[in-house]
Amino acid sequence: MFFALNWAYVTNWGLALLAFLGCAMFSIGVALALGSFVRSQQHMVIWMLPVMFVLIIPAFFSQEPNLAPGLKAVFSWLPTSALVKIFQFSLSSSAPLDQLMTNLTVALVSTVLVFAAVVWKVHRSDR
């Protein structure tokens, strides 16, 4: 939906696709992790709300200019904030390579960690 509404503003389609795939993989990993650690649907609903707050709200406020420097530093290390920044780079004419690589690293490492937790839980439950 994002690309359908903003296709005229996207200048780097490769970064846009990379950010989309990163968001999809991280979201799938979080959903699998929650599904493997939480058994009942009622508990899933209860646990999903704080997880969504921790992951989505900082992504909205990470670029706020009046944000405290400490909060800005913490928000920059969250995978959702890193993926939003990659989306922003796809809409700009240039992307600073050091910031791009830092955000890609944060997104990739967090996705790998989430999938590693899922694999660990599945291996553990097979025993």
Q: What are the pLDDT digits (tens) for 12-48? A: 889 999 999 999 999 999 999 998 888 888 888 888 8
Q: Is residue 87 part of a domain?
A: yes
Nearest CA-CA partner of 86 in 28, 23, 29: 23
**Domain count of the fold of the chain:** 1
3-state secondary structure of 67: coil
3 or 112, which is more confident?
A: 112
Residue 83 has pLDDT above 90, yes or no: yes
Q: Is residue 1 part of a domain?
A: no
Prediction pTM value: 0.86
Domain that holds residue 113: 8-122
Residue 104 has pLDDT above 80, yes or no: yes
User: Under a CB-based contact definition with an 8 Å cutoff, are residues 54 and 30 in contact?
Assistant: no
For residue range 62-81, list pLDDT tens digits in order. 888 888 888 888 888 899 99
